[in-house]
């Protein structure tokens, strides 16, 4: 192969206006601007091959010459590889009013074929591009909505964290208040005798609310992760064409595989650790208070509290990690809603 560049250009509907087939000798008028455009291509060093289904090369050549349309060959490439003869002429590019460029995505190509209208049959100049424009418009709106959802999920997690931390602190304050009142000089006997189970119950309920907060944060983390990956996929899709030459060399948020539902360093997962740690400590105190109330010695009550604290902490964190690990390789719908 030589270093010469070739372009194949269709005739009817591309160089010449085309309505319908009216015979071998009938040619439409040249499309406006074709002469200058082909001259520019030729001056740039390209060889122009007229690629047409018309049988008579003589009639095609006469038409082109009579309208000062630049060309080099008709339906042939002199540099065609010897093992590729008998088919279409080889070229670096093909220009055709009915051609559809394949970009590696067959679903997109199928949609373009189904919605295809030759440019001269369109009622409006952009009718043939309507599907693509509607698709781009949809992706643009969907991207904006997804980005808003992303920020909303993140904000929800922080609201849950603040609420959970507030109720944990409130529980500690409530138990401390009951303890102080029960051990005061004028405390009623019933308060002095029952403050331990009452305080323990408050701490247990606080821990259960903490579990609910953890589950909400985990679910929101899955939503956040899925939405962020979707946004990254869109960004990767649009940046793949290097719009205006922008190559995004930093690869800023374009990897659709990330973020994973579980990320040990994410603030959302860290917030789970904080809630679990504080909540399980309160549960441990509650267990120790129950131990005191039901007659265990001080050492046994403390031991019970420590065991419950460690078991609750380890068990809840293990559940959280398992939950997020289950969502790692699932698509969005099952990851969020289960198998439909």
Residue 333's pLDDT is 61
Comparing 316 with 119, the larger pLDDT belongs to 316
User: Which residue is associated with the tokens 């105190």?
Assistant: 285
Residue 331's pLDDT is 62
pLDDT in tens, 217-236: 999 999 899 999 999 999 88
User: Of the candidates 57, 5, 63, 59, which has an alpha carbon nearest to the alpha carbon of residue 35?
Assistant: 63
Q: Is the pLDDT reported for residue 62 higher than 90?
A: yes
27 CB neighbour count, 10 Å cutoff = 22
Residue 130's pLDDT is 65
- Helix ranges (H only) for the chain are 34-43, 57-66, 106-114, 130-182, 189-239, 267-293, 298-326, 332-337
Answer yes or no: are the C-beta atoms of 284 and 303 closer than 8 Å. Answer: no
Comparing 307 with 123, the larger pLDDT belongs to 307
pLDDT in tens, 241-299: 777 778 888 888 888 888 999 998 898 899 999 999 999 999 999 999 999 999 999 99
Q: Is the pLDDT reported for residue 335 higher than 60?
A: no
User: Which residue is associated with the tokens 């424009």?
Assistant: 133
pLDDT in tens, 164-189: 999 999 999 999 999 999 988 888 88
Q: How far is residue 305's CA from residue 315's CA, in Å, rounded to a whole number?
A: 15
Q: Is the pLDDT reported for residue 339 higher than 70?
A: no
Strands 93-95 and 5-9: parallel
- Domain 5-99 coded CATH 3.40.50.1000: yes
* Spacing of C-alpha 55 from chain mean position: 50
Q: Which two tokens stand for residue 76?
A: 């042939």
Q: How far is residue 113's CA from residue 105's CA, in Å, rounded to a whole number?
A: 13
Answer yes or no: are the C-beta atoms of 209 and 316 closer than 8 Å. Answer: no
Comparing 334 with 322, the larger pLDDT belongs to 322
29 CB neighbour count, 10 Å cutoff = 8
Radius of gyration of the chain (CA): 36
Strands 73-74 and 93-95: unpaired
**Positive or negative: CA dihedral 169, 170, 171, 176:** positive
Three-class SS state of 46:
strand
Q: Residue 112's pLDDT band (boundaries 50, 70, 90)?
A: confident
Q: What is the pTM of this model?
A: 0.62
pLDDT in tens, 74-83: 999 999 888 7
Domain layout of the chain by residue ranges: 5-99, 138-329
pLDDT in tens, 9-58: 999 999 999 988 999 999 999 999 999 999 999 999 999 999 999 999 99
Residue 340's pLDDT is 42
Answer yes or no: are the C-beta atoms of 41 and 14 closer than 8 Å. Answer: no
DSSP-derived letter for residue 120 is G
Cβ-based neighbours of 171, under 8 Å, separated by 6 or more: 202, 203, 205, 206, 282
pLDDT in tens, 118-170: 888 876 655 556 666 777 788 889 989 999 988 998 899 889 989 999 999 99
Q: How far is residue 103's CA from residue 143's CA, in Å, rounded to a whole number?
A: 22
């Amino acid at each position: 192969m030589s270093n010469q560049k070739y372009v194949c250009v269709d005739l009817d509907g591309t160089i010449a206006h085309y309505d319908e087939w009216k015979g071998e000798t009938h040619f439409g008028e040249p499309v406006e601007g074709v002469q200058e455009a082909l001259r520019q291509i030729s001056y740039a060093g390209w060889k122009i091959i007229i690629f047409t289904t018309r049988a008579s090369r003589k009639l095609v050549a006469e038409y082109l010459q009579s309208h000062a349309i630049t060309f080099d060959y008709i339906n042939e490439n002199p540099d065609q590889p010897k093992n590729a003869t008998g088919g279409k002429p080889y070229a670096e590019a093909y220009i055709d009013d009915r051609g559809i460029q394949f970009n590696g995505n067959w679903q997109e190509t199928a949609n373009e074929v189904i919605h295809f209208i030759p440019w001269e049959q369109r009622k409006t100049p952009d009718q043939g591009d309507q599907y693509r424009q509607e698709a781009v418009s949809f992706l643009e709106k969907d991207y904006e909505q997804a980005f808003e959802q992303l920020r909303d999920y993140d904000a929800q997690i922080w609201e849950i964290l603040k609420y959970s931390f507030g109720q944990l602190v409130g529980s500690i304050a409530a138990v401390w208040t009951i303890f102080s009142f029960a051990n005061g000089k004028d405390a009623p006997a019933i308060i002095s005798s029952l403050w331990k189970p009452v305080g323990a119950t408050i701490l247990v309920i606080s821990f259960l609310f903490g579990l609910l907060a953890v589950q909400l944060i985990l679910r929101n983390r899955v939503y956040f992760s899925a939405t962020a990956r979707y946004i990254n996929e869109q960004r990767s899709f649009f940046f793949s064409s290097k719009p205006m030459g922008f190559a995004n060399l930093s690869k800023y948020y374009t990897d659709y595989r990330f973020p994973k539902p579980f990320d040990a360093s994410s603030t959302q997962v860290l917030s789970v650790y904080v809630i679990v740690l504080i909540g399980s400590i309160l549960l441990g105190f509650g267990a120790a208070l129950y131990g005191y109330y039901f007659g265990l010695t001080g050492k046994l009550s403390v031991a019970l509290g420590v065991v419950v604290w460690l078991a609750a902490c380890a068990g809840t964190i293990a559940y959280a990690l398992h939950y997020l690990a289950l969502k790692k390789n699932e698509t969005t719908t099952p990851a969020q809603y289960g198998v439909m």
